[in-house]
Amino acid sequence: MKPPPFDYAAPESVPEAVQLLRESPDGTTVLAGGQSLIPVLNMRLAQPELVVDLNRVRGLDAIEETADGRLRFGSMVRQRRLETDPIVGERTPIMRAAARHIAHLAIRSRGTVGGSLAHADPAAELPATISALDGRLLVRGGDGDRDVVAADFFIGPLTTAIEPGELLVGVEVQPPPPGSGSAFLEVARTHGAFALTAVAAVLGVDTGGKIAHIRLAIAGVGSVPYSPGWLDDFALGEPPGEDLFRRIGERVRDEVEPFDDIHATTDYRKRVAGVLASRALTAASEDARGATT
């Protein structure tokens, strides 16, 4: 199939891109890597009047360390770069681990960080990873900039807090504190296929060997990444170990509400989510132990 006819613009700056979006917010869509948009256009599931191509916009492909120690990813950073950039590997290794599960090399070489986050597929790896890192999504519109925490950014399947006329320009994450470890685990029908369930885990221990920081986010078990709000009360101050992680996994299994589809049943996804949560926390704990020795 061929896409419907549309006008095309290739701005070279963020203000120019935002102005184009503001002129016809309901009839304009954004092209980043195109790995999701092009199939949607070809199937005519979207029929925009104007496509704004971000590939010439200056400054959106940078990875920077901010003055307060956060790591900022421009929305046009390619997913492949998460696997190869030394700063990512050192400061946020969980993003490197997650990126290796995204589709295949050709897709990661074109797909972007911002494109995946704005697309908001409930089974996608990066929304769950950014949620586990307590990321802040950076949105720019005609009224200026605003930050949206990950918990408020993902609203539903393919739905985010980006308003018409706004542009996602990047995401900031706070690298886990010293003494932390992380893990990303996924179950898919084949490598590169959509995740049936995926888990991102970050865990830190204090000098006494007790859990001082713990985050968990799960993809594929609902309309948005599942991040248990009870986890701090459940685990902070406890010694990491098999029994604790098993109990967390059991509670995750009981609380998630995944969908049935042609690939897996609700019950299967619930069981896998619980097992992966326990395993990911175990792996993150072992990683943290290695970081402190």
Contact 211, 109 (CB under 8 A): no
Tally of residues, the chain: 293
Domain residue ranges of the chain, discontinuous segments joined by + = 7-53, 63-173, 180-291
Q: What is the pLDDT of residues 42-76, one digit of tens each?
A: 999 999 999 999 999 999 999 999 999 999 999 99
Q: What is the DSSP letter of 182?
A: E
Q: Write down the architecture of domain 7-53 according to CATH.
A: 2-Layer Sandwich (3.30)
Q: What is the pLDDT of residue 290?
A: 83
Q: What is the pLDDT of residues 149-170, one digit of tens each?
A: 999 999 999 999 999 999 999 9
* Residue among 137, 94, 133, 97 nearest 116 (CA): 137
Distance CA 220, CA 196 (A): 6
Distance CA 140, CA 32 (A): 16
Q: What is the pLDDT of residue 292?
A: 63
CA distances to 97, 161, 177, 215 from 151, rounded to whole Å, are 21, 10, 20, 13
Two structure tokens written together for 187: 């179950």
Q: What is the DSSP letter of 191?
A: T
3-state helix, strand, coil in the chain (%, to 5): 35, 25, 40
180-291: CATH class: alpha beta
Q: What is the pLDDT of residue 291?
A: 72
Q: Of the CATH numbers 3.30.460.10, 3.30.465.10, 3.40.190.10, 3.40.50.300, which one belongs to the domain with range 63-173?
A: 3.30.465.10
Q: What is the pLDDT of residues 217-233, one digit of tens each?
A: 999 999 999 999 999 99
In DSSP notation, 100-147 reads TTSS-HHHHHH-BHHHHHHHT-TT-HHHHHHHHTT-EEEEEETTEEEE
